[in-house]
Amino acid sequence: AGLPRRREAMWGQSEVSKFAERHNLNEGAKMDLKKIFDNFVTKSRRRVTVRVPATTANMGPGFDCAGMALDVWNELTVERASTFSMEIEGEGARQLPRDKSNLVVKGVEAAYKYIEQEVPVLRYWTLNRIPFAKGMGSSSAAIVSGIL
């Protein structure tokens, strides 16, 4: 089965600029087009929220072959935006990067790469309840939440 590899391309600021150049729009018309696009993106913003559990492995004789999900969850909300932003609350909030090097963003990038699409401009908000750097899968939860 698997995921579909190709979908209709989504427009971003770079496509708007290319369109304006291709049609020789003057600066005023180009600015108007960008405002219309930004207004459209803002008003049609879609939001997705996912929850991902903590995990544990190395359980008795199972070592890395047996693991389980725990009832501790991180929450990620991603929505289309006109500028990138990353807000982090909870565990690890002071240590985690708030830029595109964040593992949540890396997960999103991997999902878009798989479907051969450019990542749209997004706003990220995470509520981290999984203890940071304590062996409960906070890093894998971040990556998986971005992929979902």
* Mean pLDDT value of segment 53-62: 72
* Mean pLDDT value of segment 48-74: 77
Q: Please determine, for residue 98, whether its predicted confidence score (pLDDT) is greater than 90.
A: yes
pTM of this structure: 0.65
Better pLDDT: 33 or 42: 33
Percentage with pLDDT > 90 across the chain: 32
Q: Please determine, for residue 83, whether its predicted confidence score (pLDDT) is greater than 80.
A: yes
Q: What band does 7 get if pLDDT is binned at 50, 70 and 90?
A: very low
The closest alpha carbon to 78, from 118, 43, 49, 100, belongs to 49
Q: What is the chain's mean pLDDT, rounded? A: 81
Better pLDDT: 95 or 29: 95
Percentage with pLDDT > 70 across the chain: 79
The CA-based diameter of the chain, rounded to the nearest angstrom, is 70
